[in-house]
Amino acid sequence: SVPPGIYNVSDLEAYTFNDLIEKNRCKRQIIFPKVVIKSLYYISIIFCMNKLKDNLIKLLSDSIYSSKKIRKHVNYNFGLNDI
């Protein structure tokens, strides 16, 4: 039984953006320099565009979260290649 709480469910392995592109067989990518994303972020702060700011934070962060807490209660051995 898993106690109530907030859990991050993820693989043991951290995947790169290129791993996800390859897995999804993306044919096209739109590449923006990081300076463009950061500039948009600062503009969103100045003009109080909170939704845009939140989405840009996701693009600028690494978004790697540990799943150690849930693994104390549940054991699974699936990965990106098992999908």
Quote the percentage of the chain above a pLDDT of 70.
99
* SS3 of the chain: CCCCCCCCCCCCCCCCHHHHHHHHCCCCCCCCCHHHHHHHHHHHHHCCCHHHHHHHHHHHCCCCCCCHHHHCCCCCCCCHHHC
In this structure, the number of other CB atoms found within 10 A of the CB of residue 1 comes to: 3
Q: What is the pTM of this model?
A: 0.57
Identity (one letter) of the amino acid at 51? K
Residue 3's Cβ-count burial label (10 Å; 0-12, 13-18, 19+) is exposed
Higher pLDDT among residues 30 and 48, named by residue = 48
Residue 55 scores a pLDDT above 90:
yes
